[in-house]
Amino acid sequence: MFDSGVGGLTVLRALLATLPSEHYVYLGDTARLPYGTKSADSVRRYALQAAAALRGRGVKCLVVACNTATAVALDALAAGFDPLPVVGVLEPGAVAACRATRSGRVAVIATEGTVRGGAYERAIRRLLPDARIVSRACPMFVALAEEGWTAGPIAEAVAHRYLDDWFGPGAGTGKPDTLVLGCTHFPMLEPVLQAVAGPDATIVDSARTTAAAVADVLGERGLLRTAGPGDPGRLELLATDGPERFARVGSGFLGRPIGTEDVRVVDL
């Protein structure tokens, strides 16, 4: 699996809970983060390079743990790496949103790259044709999450700036009842986002539904691994830059300690 940085570790966390016996290789393309502000062509090129590096390590399934890369490169990855199963986070995120909403009013926050292409709107409308969807690019949330500033006055101020016209006192009736975290970095800010969106908003992200989609794909293809005694699932962490930072910030995303010595730097 890969992401532009540590954000995809929120998806890895869900995968480890769902499929603990598997071996995982996680690649954070930290040298080229953020993906969300780059052109679709650049992100597609980066995604193909990251996937090639992972295929070179003999993976049996590729998880695109980045909404931006999923939005612009999923088709190219599926075609370029066929027959390797490729699972993105966007469709599972749309499924989670459609399950959660009661009013059909859905707000999506994501990176510029994800919002620009309208991929979430299309994915949600395929499942819920009458959905009323608003979306917004929130690139500052990526910076806050990577910096570890996920709570406190600065995170709150940024969240108010991005969300108040949808959820604040002036929003009136017709508020969205569901807020989709369309970027794998954003779950780290969930308590702040919930406080600003209010108790009536259901916050969904794609981590759990992506893990379920991976379990389905591996099951269908007979690829699930069974861990034997003394043969547990292994985890390999790769980054294209800055192992210290990856370990420090990534620990919070993964929900378990990561040491600098656990992160190997690779060149794509």
Binding of ligand DGL at residue 135 (CB under 6 A)? no
Q: Which is nearer to ligand DGL, 67 or 202 (CB)?
A: 67
Tell me whether residue 138 is one of the annotated catalytic residues. no
Q: Which is nearer to ligand DGL, 123 or 183 (CB)?
A: 183
Please report how close the Cβ of residue 108 comes to ligand DGL at its closest, in angstroms: 12
- Contact characters 67-96, ligand DGL, x per CB under 6 A: xx----------------------------
Binding of ligand DGL at residue 210 (CB under 6 A)? no
Q: List the one residue from 2, 35, 162, 253 that touches ligand DGL (CB under 6 A).
A: 35
CA-nearest of 162, 106, 97, 161 to 136 is: 162
The residue range among 32-40, 49-57, 122-130, 225-233 that interacts with ligand DGL, by the rule CB under 6 A, is 32-40
Q: List the one residue from 30, 111, 178, 202 that touches ligand DGL (CB under 6 A).
A: 111
Binding positions for ligand DGL, 141-170, rule CB under 6 A:
142
Buried b (16+ CB within 10 A) or exposed e, 102-121: eebbbbbbbbbbbbbeebbb
Q: Which is nearer to ligand DGL, 19 or 183 (CB)?
A: 183
Q: Which is nearer to ligand DGL, 28 or 243 (CB)?
A: 28
Residue nearest to ligand DGL (CB): 36
DSSP assignment of the chain = -EESSSTTHHHHHHHHHH-TTS-EEEEE-GGG---TTS-HHHHHHHHHHHHHHHHTTT-S-EEE--HHHHHHHHHHHHHHHTTS-EEESHHHHHHHHHHH-SSSEEEEEE-HHHHHHTHHHHHHHHH-TT-EEEEEE-HHHHHHHHHT--SSHHHHHHHHHHHHHHHSGGG-S---SEEEEESTTGGGGHHHHHHHH-TTPEEEESHHHHHHHHHHHHHHTT----PBTTB---EEEEESS-HHHHHHHHHHHHTS---GGGEEE---
Please report how close the Cβ of residue 31 comes to ligand DGL at its closest, in angstroms: 12
The residue range among 3-11, 101-109, 124-132, 252-260 that interacts with ligand DGL, by the rule CB under 6 A, is 3-11
Please report how close the Cβ of residue 164 comes to ligand DGL at its closest, in angstroms: 23
Binding of ligand DGL at residue 107 (CB under 6 A)? no
CA distance 104 to 107: 10
Binding positions for ligand DGL, 169-188, rule CB under 6 A:
183-185
Tell me whether residue 66 is one of the annotated catalytic residues. yes
Please report how close the Cβ of residue 89 comes to ligand DGL at its closest, in angstroms: 7
Buried b (16+ CB within 10 A) or exposed e, 32-47: bbbbbebeeeebbbbb
Give contact residues for ligand DGL (rule: CB under 6 A). Answer: 3-5, 7, 33-36, 66-68, 111, 114, 142, 183-185
Catalytically active residues, by annotation: 66, 183
